[in-house]
Amino acid sequence: MMMTTSQSDLSSVLFFPFIAPPNGGKGTQTSLLATRYGMPRVDMGSLLRAIAKEASPLGLKVQERLAQGQLVDIGIVIDVLKDGIEKQLKLNAPKDNEPLGFILDGFPRNVEQTEALMAMCEATGAKMAAAIYLNVPNEAIVERAANRRICADCGAIYNLASKPPAKADVCDVCGGVHLEHRTDDQPEKVQIRLAGYALETVPVLTYFEDKGLLKTINGDAPVAQISQELCTVMDSYLKPASAAV
């Protein structure tokens, strides 16, 4: 498998993969950290969709795989990731030799992707700083899904137990009255997703733990407490952005 990562110098880059079960609160926490530390949040799905719109050689490769309904092979995935990182570096050039952190949102998802990502780091000089694991019990995940409601008009998310709308069945943001309980949030659907997560992603935790890179956070705590614990970890690698509190 031909990969081109060795042609790049990403020595200023620190990677922080975030791993959590479905409905584990990863989106909320990574958004807060991205703001506090001024670091990009990289989502592989978004990168693949964006580059598929380009007429570049790499974009055409992705277009071909997607058009044929095929999975994009890991070599191309890593090259897409590298391309996205390089574009971000042009927009956010590190200052005063400070490292630039990148949140990897939901990547890697399996051991094959993890090994390829580590090989990319070795080839380009990027550093795998820490893999952040939000540990949430399955029963808490099922309960969150049962209580989650999403506004069909603006996408605002509520939890009937911990973050209900001020007025029952009415969105606080847009006043919409279509608060939906998604099919994916039905208990049987959640159990299927959790089973897939256990099979595919849990071995990634073992991989990072064996290398001393895993940082486990109690993801079943209040949002503010989780954020505080995450900041304690991140502060040992990065300085908060000047505008952050």
CATH of the domain at 216: 3.40.50.300
In a domain, 227, yes or no: yes
Q: How many domains does the chain have?
A: 1
Query: Which residue from 64, 10, 54, 32 is spatially nearest to 132, judged by alpha carbons?
Result: 32
- Spot the catalytic one: 26, 61, 82, 215: 26
In a domain, 18, yes or no: yes
- Spot the catalytic one: 61, 148, 149, 215: 148
- Residue 113 CB: number of other CB atoms within 10 A? 20
Q: What is the pLDDT of residue 3?
A: 42
- Spot the catalytic one: 41, 65, 87, 109: 109
For the question of residue 182 being annotated catalytic, the response is yes
For the question of residue 148 being annotated catalytic, the response is yes
- Spot the catalytic one: 53, 167, 182, 239: 182
Q: Over the chain, what is the mean pLDDT? A: 90
Structural domain range at position 125? 10-40+92-136+199-234
For the question of residue 109 being annotated catalytic, the response is yes
- Spot the catalytic one: 41, 87, 189, 193: 193
For the question of residue 167 being annotated catalytic, the response is no
In a domain, 193, yes or no: no
The low-confidence residues of the chain, meaning pLDDT below 70, are 1-7, 94, 242-245
Q: How far apart are the first and last CA of the chain?
A: 45
Percent of the chain with pLDDT over 70: 95
Q: What is the pLDDT of residue 1?
A: 37
Residue with tokens 């694991």: 133
In a domain, 30, yes or no: yes
Query: In DSSP terms, which residues pair with 157 in a beta bridge?
Result: 150
H or E segment to which residue 157 belongs: strand 157-159
In a domain, 21, yes or no: yes
In a domain, 72, yes or no: no
Q: What is the pLDDT of residue 6?
A: 41
For the question of residue 36 being annotated catalytic, the response is no
